[in-house]
A and B are shown apart, each in its own frame.
Chain A
Amino acid sequence: MKMSFSTKAFAMLLSAGLVAGCSSTGENMEEGAYGSDVAAIDQDGGSTVYGGADGSGVSASELTDDERRAAQEQAEQEALRDITTFYFDFDTSEIKPDARDVLVAHARYLADNPRQQVRLEGHADERGTKEYNLALGERRANAVQRFLIVNGASRGQIETVSYGEEKPAVRGSTESAWAQNRRVELVFQ
C-alpha cells in the first residue's frame, strides 16, 4: 500500500493521538465506553493535527523533530499491525486489554485506506459442541468488528465469517493448543 508522506504523517499523528487516548482511558473500562472515548478523540483531534503536518517540510532534506517523531510512531504503528491474530478466553468473546492498541492501529489503517477490505475469521477451540462453537466464533468476530468500527473503520470494509472449531491453528488437545485456537484472524484482502 503506497501513501504520500503527508497522508502517512496524518495517519501516524492521528494514531499517536489515539494511542495516547487509549492509555489514559485505562484498561478495565467497558468496551463500549472505551470505544466512544476514542471516537471523540478522533473527531476533534483529526483536522487539527492534519493542519500541522501538511504543507511544510515534505521536500526539505532535514526532518523536523515533529516529523522524526511522526516517522517513529509510524514505524510503531506498522509494527503493531504485524499482529493480526487476537486470542480469547474459553467461552468468551471479550477482547483482551492487550489487544486493544493493536486493534486501534488496524482500525486507523482501515479508516485511512477506505478501499482496504478485511475479513475477520472467528474460531473456537475443539471443546464443546460444534454448532455452539460456530456461534461463538461469530460472536468473537463480531466483537472485533464492533471494536474496529468504533475506532474508525467503516462497516463496508469488514466481512466476518465463523469457522467454529473446524479450522484449528494448532492441532492437539492441550491447554496451549486450545488457547491458540480461540482466536479471530484479520485477513486483509
Chain B
Amino acid sequence: MKNWFRSGTPWIWLTGGAVALSLVMVIGVVGLIAVRGLSHFWPAPVIAVEIENLQTGEMRRVLGQISRSETVPAQVAADAGNYIPEDRFDTLVTRYLFKVGNRDQMGADFVWHTDLGMGEFAYPDQALVLERREWGDFFGYPEALLVDGEEVLTADDPDFLSELQDLVERSLTLHDDIRRIERGEVGEINRQLEQLRRDLRRLDINNVTGNARAEEEARVAAERARLDAEYDVLRAELDVLYASTRRDTLRMRMSDDRTVSIPLAQIMRVTQPNNMSVPAKMAEYADRFWTFVSSEPREANTEGGIFPALFGTVTMVMVMSVMVTPFGVLAAIYLREYAKQGPITRAIRISVYNLAGVPSIVFGVFGLGFFVYFLGGNIDQLFFPEALPRPTFGSPGLFWASLTLALLTLPVVIVSTEEGLARIPSTIRQGSLALGATKSETLWKVVVPLSTPAMMTGLILAIARAAGEVAPLMLVGVVKLAPSLPIDGNFPYIHLERQFMHLGFHIYDVGFQSPNVEAARPLVYATALVLILLIIVLNLTAISIRNHLREKYRSETD
C-alpha cells in the first residue's frame, strides 16, 4: 500500500477526478437549465387533491399543477411555518409547491403543502387551465359560456371545448386589431404631434419672429387639427372593437366551489391538460415555445414572451459588430504588418491583450461617463436643442451600449486577427512581393483574404462575449421594459438613441427584481436556455472555424 501511494497512482486518479468533476459540473449546469427551461412549456397534468389541516381538522381542496417538491426534515418544515404534529418531529416530510393560479381570487398563486394529511392525487379530465392577460393562470372547472350575458352552452356539451377555442380565437383576433391600431396608427399620430411640438420649440430657440413665425404657427395649428380629427376617427373605431371584445364570458368553478366569470378578452389560451393525447401535448408544446420566443412580455415580465429582449440583443450585437470589426482588424493589421516590432509595440500588444481581462463593469463606467454624459450631452446641445431638457443621445441607449461593448470586445478581435495574420506563411507574402505587388496589394489581395476565417473567429467570439455581457449594459442602455423596439417602420428606421431590452438583463431582472419570483422562475430558466443556446452555437462555430483554419494552413505549409 505504501508503495502504491509512493508510485503516485492515487494522485493521478485525484487529478482525473478533478477533470471528471469539472465535466460533471458543466454538463450538470447546462442540463439543469435545459431540463428546467424546456419543461416550462410542457402542459403538465392538473392535480386535484384534498388536504386535511391536521391542526384544525379543516379539509381543503386544491386544484393546480405541482411546481416542485422536496423532502426535508420535519424541523425545517416547522421552521418554515408548517404545522408538524408532535410525533412527526425527527422524521422527513415531503412538501409540494402547488401552482394553484387564480391570483385575483385567492391572493397567492403558489402554495406549499406538506404531505401530512394529504389525500390521493386525482386528475380530473374537466379541469381547464386558462392563460390570462392579467393575474396569471386560472385553474378551474368550466361551467358555461355566456354571450352578451346569455348562457349559450354548458360545460357538459360535447362541443364545449371546441366552441370555447373558437371564441377565444375570435377575441384574440379582435385584440390584435386593437393593438395594431393603437400601436401603429395612433402611435404614428402621437409621433407627428411630438414633431410639431418640436417645430414650435425650434422657433423659440432660433428666435424666429414676424411673418415666418406666424406662417409656421399656422401650419402647425392646421396639422394639429388634422391629426386630432384623424385621432377621433380611430378612437371611435377602437371603441367599437373594445365593445365587441366584451361580448363573451366564460363561467368557471374554482376548487372551493366559488364561480367566477371571466371575460374571454382576458383569455389568451385554453388547455385541458388531463384530457390531451401525447401528440396534442407536443403540438401545444411547440406552440407555447413559439409564443415564448415571438411574443412580448406581460405582467412585469413574469408572463409572456421574450421577443423584445431577443430582438434587442441581436440588434445591439449587430450594431456592435459593424463598429468593432473594421477597427479591430485595422488595429491588428497595423500591429502585425506596419508597426516596427520593438519593445514599444510589444508593450502596446500586451496592454491591448490585457484589456480583455479588465472587468466589464469598468467599460460600463467609462461608457456611461464618457459616451453618455460627455459625448451624448454635447450631441444633444448641438443637434437636438429643441428636445431638451429631455435627452436624446444624452441618456443611455442602443448606440452607446453597442459602442461600449465594441470597446470591450476590441481586444478579442485584435488578438484573433493577429493570430490569423501570424499564421500566414511568410513564403506567401514574399511570393506576392516578388511578383511586384506593393505592400498594400499583398495585404489586401493575399494576406487579408487568407486570414478572413481568423477575423470571423474573432468576430464570433466577440459576439458571443457581447451577447452574454450584462454588467456594463446595466449602465449604458438596457432597461427592463422598452416601450418600442429599436428598429421599426418610422424614419430613420433604426433608432440608435432608444433604450432596449437584453436577454441577459432580462434574466437578472425577472429573476431578482420581479414581484412574483415563483411565477417568474420557469421563465428565467427558459430565457437562460435561449441565451445559452445562442452563445454555445456561436462558440462552437468559432471553434470549428479555428480548427478548420489550422488544418488548412497546416496542409498548405507542409
Are A and B part of the same complex? no
Which residues in A have some Cβ–Cβ distance to B below 8 Å? none
